[in-house]
Structure 1
Amino acid sequence: MNRKSREEFYRRYGEPQKSYSRSNSGFFEKFGRFAAKTITAVFTGLLKSVKFILSELLSLGVSILKFFLWVLKELTAPFRERFNINKDMTRKVNKAKKEGAEEYKKALFEFWCSYLFGEDGVFYTAFNYILPTLSIVFLVGIIRYGSGLEYGLSVEYNGREIGMITAEADFEEAEREVQQRIAYHDSDEPIDLSAKYSLKIINENDTIVSSAQLANEMLEASDHALTEAYGIYIDGKFIGAVKDKEPIQDALNERILNFRIDGIVKNIEYKNSIEYSHGIYLADSVMEKQEAIDLLTSSKEKKAVYIAKNGDTAATIAQKYNMDYDKLIELNPDIKNNCRKGTFVNVVETESYLPIQYVREIDPISFLDYETIEVETSSLNEGVRDILVKGRRGEKTSHIEVTYIDGKEYSRKTISTKITREPVVEKIGIGIYAARPDSSSTVLTGSGEFGWPVDGGWVSDIFGGTRNHKGMDIAASTGTEIYAAADGEVVSAGWNTGGYGYFVQIGHTDGYQTVYGHMSAVLVTEGQFVARGQLIGEVGNTGNSDGSHCHFEVRHEGICLDPALYLNTVDSFNDDRDKKDSKDKDKKNKKN
């Protein structure tokens, strides 16, 4: 292909690709140029930003400087003009001095007149600067003087000034007070309570009156019959007036002293606030002594129904409602023998005009529920559930203040709580121990303290017999897994010269030990702690053995015991594996 043809080919189909190394080198070269351009652009942009900020700050500084120079120029302009005028006047004086004494005096007089009283003279300049300053000082003085004065509202009622108050709210309070006092007014003619206010400066001769004093003044300014008395207020509400408050208070104190209460109580008092206010009241609102006592100590009874709760008895219900026990039995003849939860009990509630409240302290004992958790354990066969730790409710003692109103429980307040017995968490064991005999025909009904130690197998020789066998032989094929029958520490592991072959001996609590002999492999070491169901070795035929099996012993304080007394296989064939096998067998039978 000649050069022209080659160029035409490259033009249509492009030049051939270069080698990998050159392409790679070109990539890094392009990337380097791009990175350099990017860094240069960023750095250039940063410099431009800094330059712009500095130029703006410089412009701002120049503007501020020009402003201060302008202010200085404006402030000094009168002095510069005065200086120029004085300079011209001085030149005129010097010229006039040469012309003669008369001209000199005249020029000198004009100079001083211009200097002192001219447009930019001393007095004119001083007037322009000092007068605003004096005005500001005067204004500040006026403000300070005004702020130091105390102002009040003079109240004019029914054509005469009745007092000075500091806020309109005082009159509103006095108006409400008067409204309460005239509630007993028998006349149909309404009492006008409108008043006029005027703002005044309070001087040393003026007296500020309270809302109660203002109420008295308003009543005195009215045209109705008035009298001096003690107003009775229940929770701030006026209910009437009496001439003498002492007999009223004595009657109320006596009622509290004679109030029937069982047991020890504290803070016995009236639920409502009772206050007396001495002042001027409408004569119509004044009650007789006995009338006031009868009203304040009055009460009424109403029938109600109480639903019995757990632990309620006739005596406790009577105490709750401060009822006489015989009265409760009269209303509920069968309550002695029938006071179960949900029973409807007829009671009598007492509603007093002034309820009496008191506090009783109690220390009840309550129970704390225990938590139940499930834990997997190898101490149980797989599929078996049993209680490992029995749950027990806890107890707590609470110090409670119970508030009663007219003998009926109103509220409870817990002051302190102390747990006297912590609850015990109940643990439900979920069995995961999977080792069991090959067949359900191998039935052992021992305590279950130890688990079946082989994954399968069967009992080929029992404990004792004519040859005084020290353990139980469990036949299984070589290599079958052997598990620890209970938690413990490996006392010995390895080869035994006494005929056990490869064996493992585990020490358990309470002086028990288990031995596993004739193993083909030992998978634990001496001093190792193992858990029930943990793999410790494999079935073999080592030592004095005539076939593949596991020789299993249970010892207590060195004495060999029958392992059958400690093994239990009753529940071994009732777990999820057997249920699954049963389902699979049923499905197979249905298909057939």
Structure 2
Amino acid sequence: MSARELLEKIAVLLYAIVYKYCYLVGLFTQELLEGVVRFVSRHVRRAELRLIDFARALPPALSHLLHRLRRSLQRQRLRAGRTFGSVRVAAEQMRSGRGREGLRTFGRAGLELLRQLFPLLRTIVNLALPIAAILLLWQNVQLVGRQQYALRVAYAGETVGLIKNEAVYDRAVSQVEAKLQGSQQGTPIDFSANFELIPVGESDPLLDEYALSDKIIAASDNDITEAFGLYVDGSLIGAVAQKNTLPTLLAGLQDRYRTDDPTETVSFVRSVKVVEGLYPEGRVVDGETIGSLIDREVQGEVVYTVEAGDSPSLIAERFGIPLRQLLRNNPGIEESLLIGDEVVVDRAQPYMSVKISRVETYEEEIPYSTETSEDSSLLKGQRKVTREGENGLARVRASVTYVDDVETERNVLSRTPLREAVSEQVSVGTKLFAQTPGVYSSGTVSSNFVWPVVSARAYVSNGYYGYYGHGAIDIAAPYGSPIIASAPGTVVMATYSASGYGRHVMINHGDGVQTLYAHMSALAVGVGETVEQGQVIGYVGSTGNSTGNHCHFEIRVGGSKVNPMGYLP
């Protein structure tokens, strides 16, 4: 077989393949388009019928408008029918082997279809273009928003670098002035510079105030050297030549408070930064010098001597400090505050205060509650403990913060009960006091008096014969516990004495009987008032000649002191 014959057979084979492909495409296209035409024609016809029925019920003007719409639909349907008819003819031509004629007929049908669809395409384009413009504008806004800008700095006629904003340059100027302070300067530095806003990429480096200050100071005629500067709260303290000097000094200050607790974090209260750069030779010092600058106190200890009438809250108010700070500086001040005691109002503060935070686990008592019940066999104002209370116990896990070993904050993370608290039960008397003439002097009816201190923690700390000339009993109780009238009567004295009784009250009960209550922290009655048994007349304190919070209680009969224990229940 020659090459010519081979090419002819290949050509015949290709023609047969193309013919069959075109035949099948034409057949499929014809069936598809005929189905579409039938569907559209059926629904258009239904719409026409509905329009005709609807138009008959409308005014002539609207009826004419709908008639024109119907005619337009008919024309569109006829044009579509001709177009789809051309498609059918083209398909038939391709099936019969007239592929070239079929393609031309199919092309003319396609152009006609495009002309018919042009109004619809034009409407779609008119709607799509504004939407596309809005999307393009949004993309541009996003692009501009993501674009980063920086200032290009030109100093002394040369470009020195890029900075974020002019505030960086202002801080750099302040850094240069701080570096030159106290050193011998050459020609004064001209800090004027030119700035140009330019777009930058993420990889373009920006200078901070420290790097920019190095470039400015390098352009001066001062004697400078490479060193390591220590900045505290943004202020330059000094510079050293050796790299390890400052980290060693700073770590030594923190090690004074550091423990082996793995949960512990140690830091300085002030902002501390070590910056390598260029510094005037006059600001570079040795390690001992800069060590003395940071290891110093900036405020001395303030001590106050307690005077008559003072209390923790009054002292804190006088010096304008929180009561919590006063109690933290003076543990136990709430339990005992005597005249002449020295109270630490403020402690010495290191220049480089160290902050330590750690998680601590410890056991803590849970205070018991008190349950009261009335008892008609006890006089009003009298209290009797029928069951002792017992504190509970809990394991506490807390985050604790210290500054220079002084606790400043405590946040409880968890509390696990170990032992439940047992409530205290107290009986409170309701029986009214009945005063009978002559009953006091006999000393035989003890129920006519009640205990003068209302507190479950009260106890006799010093008896009638405790020391020479005492002539009373001392009832110790927590600071501020109520003191009540042991019997009804009239207040004949309510005053303060810097020595002796301090704040004290005397009540006349008639029949030559008087009671005296001394060393009160505050008075609740005045001279001339009539008081009932159990009425609050003052509060436990330690004023006057006293060595702790208590109530000095006397009973006088006919002007002579008697042992109160013989008259109290």
Query: Do Structure 1 and Structure 2 share a fold, with TM-score over 0.5?
Result: no
Rg comparison, structure with higher value: 1
Question: What is the TM-score normalised by the length of structure 1?
Answer: 0.36
